Structures are given as C-alpha cells and as structure tokens.
Structure 1
C-alpha cells in the first residue's frame, strides 16, 4: 500500500541514490518490486533472506517480498559463515538473494541467487499488482544483535510496520529536493524504518554502505542532504573529523541520533557545528518496529538556551513517547511505579510486535512488552533509559547501573568513549571496571579519573579499576558489545 501510494503520488521523482551513482525513481522502484514479486510467486517462494550492503537492492527485495506476501529477512554480512548458516537454518531454508561477493560462503546451495542475476531475471516478468496480503501476515524477520544473549528472530507483521509509519510520518511531507543520508546496515530495524518512513514522506534516500566520517561529510555536501540519522559513535567521529571547523552543511535541516548513549559533551559540540540542523534523539527496539520515543528539536534548543536545569537534564533523556505508544515503569513484580522511580520499561501500542519466531509472543495479557531496559519517567513524561538490566553490576549486594557511571565519565573533557562492566571478584561479588578511550591530547591519570567520578557519585559507584584502551568493541549499529569486552577482560585482564 505504501509503495503504491508513493509511486502514484511522486512518480518520476528520484527515490533512491546508490553510492555508485545509480538513481531510481519512485515509479521505477514500484515496477521493479512488482516484477520481483511476480518472480517470487512464480517459483512458489515462501521465505526470502537477503545478504548485502546498504543500497537500493534492500528496498527492492523488501517490497518484492511485501507484494508477494513473503517474509523478508536481511542478514548480517559481518557474521561468520557458521552463524549465517545457523540463521538460514532457523528460517527454514529460505531463498537467499545475495550480493555476489558473499555467494561463495554457501557453496552449491540450491536456494541461492546473486542479486545482480536476480535483477536481470525479474526484468522479463510482468508486474504483480493484485495479490491480497493480510494485515497480520509476517512482513519482516530481523535477528537481534545478540549483544547480551543469543540472537533471536523478531517477527514484524505488516500491521506493526504500517502503524509505525502512519503514527509518526505525514504522507507527502517532504519537499522534492529533500534527501536523507542513511548509513545504518540493512539488517537493523532502523534501516527498515528508514525505507518505509522516507518512502511515505516522499524523501529521497541516499545510501552510504560503509561509514567514514570524511566520506559522510563529502556525500552530505555532494548530494545536498537535508536529513540524516547516525549512531553516537558516528556522531563522535564526525565531530572529531571537523576539528575546529563548522560542518558547512547549510542544507542539513534534520539530524537524528540514537541506538546508544551519547556524550552530552559530544552532543553540545555537534549542536554548535551543525547550527542549521534540528536535532532529534530516537529510541526504539527491533521488537517495536523502530522508534517509540523522541526528544525533539525544541527540547534540544531549550536545553542549550533556557538555562533551566530540568531542560538541560532532558538532554540525557530519549524524549516522550510517539503517538500511539504508551510507556509504563514497573518493578520486578510487574507493579507500576510512580513518576521518578527507576524500574523496568514496558511499552504498548499497535507498532509493538514483541514476538519471536521460536519463542512466540512475550506480550502480557494486556499487550504490554517488557523491553528489558531500565529507566524512569520524569514529571513531564520524558523517558530516561538507564541501559539493559542484564548489564547491572552487583557489587557488595548493591545494584549499580553502568550507564550512570559512563555518563559521568563521558562528561570529562579528555574521555572520548567509556564502558563500565562488572568483573567477578571474590570479596565483592563483582568489581567495577571502567574501560576508557582518551582523546589524543589527554594527560589525565587513573587517580584524576577516580576523583572525577567520586566527586559526582558516591564512593561505592567509583570504578575499582580503570583500563585505558585505544578502542571499544561496537556492533555495526553502534551498540557496545559488553559480553565481548567482559570476555577480553577476563582472559587478558592486564592488557591496556
């Protein structure tokens, strides 16, 4: 429905721009997807997996599957061969449409075709335009990142994704000259959300398959990008790349960030370097079809200009729920907690799936989904996310949220990145270890960092050990890989 509406309304306008310069209009996109759907139906395909980089192939295959009523799963091309085979097996041996560079991973697999060959074959097909698809049919399956547990397949139905778009985007709201720069990988829910939300708005999507700060800035200038979405690590590297210079992107009107905690120091610098851009912080999960809360442009301006301490504190929040989403904070017995009290974040709304391919639905009887994130709501309804409950450090019987310590460390002028984890300890149960990446000109010491934290938090939350690192392990979507970090510390605790 969304693609048909967009093709009818925007027709020859450019919709997709690839890194190699290939450009696709809305009507071309619709025709290719319809031909792809016909090809899938002719072959009796029941399930499709996609393996490739960011680019116009992603939305083409995705909407071919949608029009054919076939579940679509983009896979993580960074996984090992064994992990990819496990995912394919979990999906029930789907047809694999793959970038040719990855086909060799699967040997003589019958159910596999190169994406270039697939594009060639579908050009001979008559478009499929009249197949009826049920609202509750599976549209997309996404595997979670597995940063704290084994990856799970999240089932997103057509009704989840359509409700997300209808509640958060106004149809035709983009100007013909508008363009968004997307760098998130195709297997992340943000990439799926970017496709359907920008399609509905009528905004051109410019793809950058591999992020580099200098390349991001170049493409943003060359393509006159008006909107972009980055994860905090990307934003930090863009700010570093700019140095003392402003971005000089006067056409950039909107810059969204999300996926992990961002340093307020980096955020304040970014606000200065992109003076024409409205900043938005977005919070969402795979199970919620992307964004469920937003900290809007006015919130960012108020934080910097009003001097109100509450407004400034809200820079550390993810804003308020988007239309159609309810948020509730509960204790460990599932009882609702009052405003300002920390607990587990639960969410409810028509875009929330909360459903897994193997486990089924985990929604409670009233349709609420447990995010497994800790947090609280302030008196104005702003949501503060304190990180995964799985990450909680238990030191001497006290529960300590790593997020709280990390936020303090990131306010230090010489700390670029920080991660706080718990490591087994015979006396305390766990000791607090802070792994920090310093700026190039840093001269700070472990003693100075200890004092910096202790003056802002009570002594029991001060790290027992600091380790200086050159980098931290992140997923491609900017999420800290805590399990990998803890494993490294356990096996090589003395490595700096």
Structure 2
C-alpha cells in the first residue's frame, strides 16, 4: 500500500491531528500490541478518546472507556466457560452496545466469533451451530426460545454477563478470525473467514472514496452480523466515531434519530434507502453528509430520487462476503450513470474475464474478478479458494464502460437461456423499478417446456396504485427484446427478504 496515499487520506479525514502526547503514544501502542482488528481498534480509540461517546443505542450511551471495560467483562465470562484461542463462539444479537462488547470480547481471547443472522429459524440455528463447530453461543434474550435445538454448547445471555473484572488481558498469540455467514438466500449459509487488516491501507481505501471523518456520528443501520455492517463497525472504531444503533430498522424512527442525534453519516442497505423514500415528505430533512449503502443492488432510479431529496450524499459500495469491496460509486458516478457500481478504490484491481480467462473489451459482459488485500480466507471446512491469475471471481457478470465504470449485469447462476437467448433477470428488475406505480420488483427464471426457461416477475405496487399483468408485459416489450418479457406476472403485498434486505428467491417459487 502506498504510504503517501495513506498519510494524505488520514490527514484529509481528520485522523492525523494534534493531541495529548501521552494519549497518542498509548493509542499507537495499543495498535502495535493488539493489531488492526476490532480488539486493537477499540483499544486505540479508548486510549486516545476515553471520554468520547462510543455508542448510543436504544438503552444507553457508552463511552469508549466503558465499551472497552464491557468487552473485557465478556472476555472473562467466556474464558470462564473454558473457551480458548481458536475456539468458535456464535453471536446471535441485534445491533446494540452489548453486541459490540461481545464481539470484541471474543476476539480479545483469540477465539473466532461467528456472526449469525438473526432471521434464521430454530432448525437453521442448530445446523449452523453444528456446521461451524461452535463451542459457545452468546445471544439476546429474545432468541432463547429459538435455541432449543442447539445442544452440547455453552449458551450465554448477553444481558446476564456478570460485571466482574479478572486479570488484565494480554494480546492472544493468534488473533481471532471473524466468521461471517453468507446470506443463504439460495441454500444453507456458509461460514467465510474474514482476514484481519494488516495496517491502515484497507481503511484508507474506503474512506478515500466515502468521505467519513474522525469523530463523525454514524448511524449504523446495517445489521452488524452482515459483512457491510461489520465493515461499518470496523471503520467507525478506527475513526473513533460515535456509533448510533437501533435494534430494528424502522424508517420513521431512523429519520427522527438522524435529526435528534445530529448524525453525520448513515450506513445501511438499499432497501433501507427505499423505505426512507417511502415516508411522507417531512418538513425537517436531516442534514446528513454521507449515506453509504451496500449488500444488494441499488436501482438507478432510486439513487437519483434519493439524491434529489437528500442531496448528493449517496455512495454505493459493491462487494461481497468473499471479496470485501470491489468498487464504489460516488454521487458524481450515480448522477452520470445511475446504474453503475462505480470504480475500484485505491489498491483494488477489477477485471472482466472471458471463458478463456482473458480480459474482454469494454462493454462486453463476462465474469467479474477482483483482487485486494481483504479477500476472504476461504469457507469453513474448505480451505481452497479458487483464483484466476490471482483474481477472485465474484460470481457476478458485468462490464466496464469506456470510462472505467463497472456495471453489474446479473449473477452467473441467475442468467437464464430462453429459446437460445441469454437473459439477465436483473436487467428487467431495473426496468420495472423505474415504473412509477411499482414499489419493488423481483424477476427470476423458471422452467419452461417449450423454451427451456422463461422469466417470472413478482411485483409490489405502491399504495393505491393499480397495474395489470398485460400492462407490465407491454412496458417491458416497449423497452426490451421480446425474450425479456416475463410470461408470469404475480402481484404481492411484499417481497420475501432476509434480515439484510436481500430477496430470498427460493421463496418466490412458492408464492
């Protein structure tokens, strides 16, 4: 990583400023001893700004010194259950200071936290506990009934961890590796091992493009168990930010919280932006400086409408659990090309490779491949990570335009062949998302006796609006080729989504 780039970016974002010399020495000493994982980032923040409010959640306000003390209590409580470095500890909690304390407490022991989706069923939880070989599980009280099928591991309720302080913790011989579960929208979630940053480079790559600053107030709406929510937490701790958390996302309450807490930045997923836009026009609009979304496709029409209301503050990060980030679209990118995924940030290389593993010309749709210093280390139970010329395939198809902007054309496994023609469902989804009467749409491929496959559209209308299946098909026919026209059009009250806002496509088949 380029040292001048790091120094310049840190200075631009307020990370290099004068301060108490003793605290600065302690700050960098903490990073030197504990590294750039969550345990080190919390300790550097507590060393430099112990009295600063670290978290405002639905129950309390916690300083950095208090957050560190809470994480150490968790570490001692987990250690008392026989957990040691290298063991895996599940974490089933909603966004709160307690979840952060638990997450960092686990890593401080050198154990591996496994971030579990709060939307899983009892049977799925039992499967995850077995597949990930959990030794213990920390959970919120509300999830206790769902753990009945999880057996032979220690279960620790997050709000009942004793307020006892043991011996001072020392950095573990080997840092804990956070394991993030894949979304599981098409099958059983897999555990992906996240690497620990080796320095300031990964942070600077993101904040160079997304203008988050030291000391910002950041409303972290994305679930902390999600890759983007977890990344947001890493960034916020590194910036010594004040993190605003709510256990559940409610658009009206979040809108009010943005104003009441004088929030500088919002980190969320695209469906949250959609829900904010669905609110009635408000007299008071939050003076928010940055809204950064990731985790699923951001419809171009939504991006433009949001910026028309809130200003040019929207940033869209395209990435995945496996690849971390791939590209970032700035407001300037989104104004110029609303459907773009942006450009690779500093230190990231993106290439579009054909079937012969060679780069293809601009505008050619093929497989997206990426390399950066935060690629995942593999799935649990499978240490082999397939790469092509050092690049990791994202599983998406896309293309670059003449200016170097990336566009996502669909998942490789979502593309269908209908009557010999390649069809991308996401292309039709984007077209339908811009229809004024349509609130949201999902398009998938289904079997067809005559053509092999055909498209099926599932549509949610805005309140009070009406459309017929023929009107939907006519709209697609006017703007796309005939093989893109969905034969099946089904109207729903809501699309089935998981806790991170992704559409669960396997459930659409049953609608």
What is the TM-score with the length of structure 1 in the denominator?
0.88
Cα offsets for 1:206-263 (capped at 9, x unmatched)? 1111112111112112211111023222212211113x4465112x111122322233
- Deviations 1:96-151 (Å, cap 9, x if unpaired)? 11112323433575511111222x24x332331x32444xx552111111112332
Query: Secondary structure at the residue paired with 1:174?
Result: coil
* Structure 2 residue 274 is the aligned partner of structure 1 residue 274: no
Residue 457 of structure 1 pairs with residue 480 of structure 2: yes
Q: Does 1:181 align with 2:219?
A: yes
Identify if the C-alpha distance between structure 1 residues 410 and 93 changes in structure 2 by more than 3 Å, giving closer, same or farther: closer
Alignment correspondent of 1:12:
51
Which of 258, 278, 292 in structure 2 is aligned with 1:220? 258
RMSD: 2.3
Partner residue of 2:18? none
**Number of matched pairs:** 465
Deviation at 1:405, TM superposition (A): 0.8
User: Is residue 246–residue 273 contact of structure 1 (8 Å, CA) maintained in 2?
Assistant: no
1:288 — aligned with what? 323
CA gap of 1:438–1:104, structure 2 versus 1, over 3 A, is closer
Q: CA deviation at 1:79?
A: 1.1
Q: Distance in 2 between matches of 1:161 and 1:458?
A: 49
1:352 is aligned, of 368, 371, 375, to 375
Deviation at 1:341, TM superposition (A): 0.9
Report Cα offsets for 1:157-178 as digits up to 9, x if no partner. Answer: 22479753253247x96354x3
- Which residue is equivalent to 2:15? none
The CA deviation at 1:365 is: 6.2
Q: Is the 8 A contact 1:255 1:278 kept in 2?
A: yes
Task: Please name the residue that 1:84 is paired with.
Answer: 125
Alignment of 1:57 onto 2:98: yes
Find the counterpart in structure 2 of residue 248 from structure 1. Answer: 285
5 Å-filtered alignment, 1:408-427, equals: 408-427=431-450
**What's the counterpart of residue 350 of structure 2?**
327
Within 5 Å, which residues of 2 pair with 1:160-179?
164-169=202-207, 174=213, 176=215, 178-179=216-217
Asked if 1:124 corresponds to 2:158, the answer is no
8 Å contact kept, 1:299–1:315:
yes
CA apart distance, 1:41: 4.4
Match of 1:24 among 27, 38, 62: 62
**1:262 matched to 2:298:** yes
Preserved CA contact (<8 Å) 2:90 2:134 = no
Deviations 1:296-320 (A, max 9, x none): 13334xx2xxxxxxx2xx2101111
Would the alpha carbon gap of residues 104 and 414 (structure 1) be closer, same or farther in structure 2, given more than 3 Å must change?
closer
Distance 1:378 1:39, change over 3 A: same
Distance 1:283 1:133, change over 3 A: farther
1:138–1:157 contact (8 Å) kept in structure 2: no
Contact (CA 8 Å) 2:195, 2:377: kept in 1 or not? no
* Pick aligned residue for 1:113 from 156, 169, 178: 156
State how far apart, in whole Å, the 2-side matches of 1:375 and 1:270 are: 25
What SS does structure 2 have at the residue aligned with 1:187?
coil
Once the two structures are superposed, the pairs formed by residues 384-395 of structure 1 within 5 Å of their partners are: 384-395=407-418
Change (3 A) 1:133 1:279: farther
Distance in 1 between residues matched to 2:387 and 2:153, nearest whole Å:
41
| Structure 1 stretches of 4+ moved >6 Å | none
**Equivalent residue number for residue 141 of structure 1:** 179
SS in structure 2 of the partner of residue 292 of structure 1: strand
**1:216–1:61 distance in 2 versus 1, CA, 3 Å:** same
The 1-side partners of 2:417 and 2:132 are apart by 37
Q: Which of 109, 128, 135 is 1:68 aligned to?
A: 109
**Counterpart contact for 1:168–1:322, Cα < 8 Å:** yes
CA distance in 1, matches of 2:381, 2:496: 29
Of 277, 299, 312, the match for 2:333: 299
> What is the rounded CA distance, in whole Å, between the counterparts of 1:197 and 1:409 in structure 2?
35
Contact 2:303 2:314 (8 Å CA) reproduced: no
Once residues 316 and 262 of structure 1 are traced to their aligned partners in structure 2, the CA distance between those partners, rounded to angstroms, is: 7
For residues 337 and 173 of structure 1, do their structure 2 counterparts lie closer, same or farther at Cα, with a shift above 3 Å needed?
A: closer
Gaps of 5+ in 1: 304-310, 490-496
**Unmatched 5+ residue regions in structure 2?**
1-39
The answer on whether the counterparts of 1:160 and 1:351 sit within 8 Å (CA) in structure 2 is no
> For residues 235 and 246 of structure 1, what CA distance do their matches in structure 2 show?
18
